Amino acid sequence: MRETAWRVFAEEFNSAAYEIKGGEKQASYVVTPLGAKISRLFIVGVLTEKENVGENMLRARVSDPTGVFTVYAGQYQPLAAQKLTEIEPPAFVAVIGKSRTYSPEENIIYTSVRPEMVKEVDADTRDSWVVETCRHMRTRLNAVSEALKMDPPTVEKLTALDFDENLAEGVVLAIENYGKIDVEKYSGILIEALRYLLPGSEEEEALPQKQEVITEEKKENEDEKKLIEMIEALDSGKGASWEKILTKAEENGMDKNRVEEAVNSLMDKGIVYEPILGRLKKI
């Protein structure tokens, strides 16, 4: 039977450090800290860059609101590799692929995606994917929260609470291998993803939140909004020059360090990019 393609954000996928190795005819799985037991995944984001890395191998970066997926396509993914070759960054893309890991040393795992399908899409498709992925992530958060109350957590107890059996198995494995999972951290990631699209929405207010939601985080969000406005105002068609951005930022009370942090965050999220060295442009 074909494996389900999970919807996960880059931050959760890249946090995975546990893999179930399959056999010759058995699938391998990457298990995330929230219990997604991933053999295949479905992602939508901004293709921000691509490069050839060795013979017949293309590496691409696809950004979502939480981070960056690394995608490798080679001779065994000819259609996906051809499509990636044809699409010029920045562009919204949808990717269905298999999870892969690389472990250069013990206890260190890097995740990546081997694409089966790549398709260029539009901003509305990306936004719909973000909202749907938030719903899936919230279900996993709820399952982990319930499991952490159990001693011990079991698949039977979780399915009795109406969680899917596949998710229940993943959550139990996650707790066994990651210990006490930081639910607040992933709740914050979920809120950040929703804020990216739906500031002040009822759905956001319904999510688990920390009472102190962090002045520093609010300041970072404000810096990013200011920076986007500056880039758009200073862009004459070829992007806004770094020097003019810094000058404008200083006029608005932002020092160079704050500007660099905001730029890095916006580039990771796929909101801005460098069309040429020294210039920034909003996607």
User: CATH code at 104?
Assistant: 2.40.50.140
Is 47 in the same domain as 140? no
Is 133 in the same domain as 172? yes
Across the chain, mean pLDDT equals 86
Is 44 in the same domain as 73? yes
Structural domain boundaries enclosing 263:
215-282
Distance, in Å, from the CA atom of 151 to the CA atom of 211, rounded to the nearest integer, reads 28
Is 221 in the same domain as 195? no
Residue 159: per-residue pLDDT: 96
Is 233 in the same domain as 188? no
Residue 212: per-residue pLDDT: 40
Q: Which of 243, 232, 241, 249 has its CA nearest to residue 274?
A: 241
Residue 283: per-residue pLDDT: 78
Buried b / exposed e across 86-108, counting CB within 10 Å, b at 16+?
ebebbebbbbbbbbbeeeeeeee
Token pair 């932002």 is found at 254
DSSP reduced 3-state for 133: helix
Q: Is the pLDDT of residue 118 over 90?
A: yes
Residue 205: per-residue pLDDT: 40
pLDDT in tens, 142-182: 999 999 999 999 999 999 999 999 999 999 999 999 998 99
pLDDT in tens, 32-78: 999 999 999 999 999 999 998 877 899 999 999 999 999 999 888 88
**Structurally, how many domains does the chain consist of?**
3
54 or 99: whose pLDDT is higher?
99
Residue 211: per-residue pLDDT: 36
Please state the pTM of the whole predicted model: 0.72
Report, as an integer, the average pLDDT of 81-103: 92
In three-state form (DSSP H/G/I as H, E/B as E, the rest C), the secondary structure along 204-262 is HHCCCCCCCCCHHHHHHHHHHHHHHHHHHHHCCCCCEEHHHHHHHHHHCCCCHHHHHHH
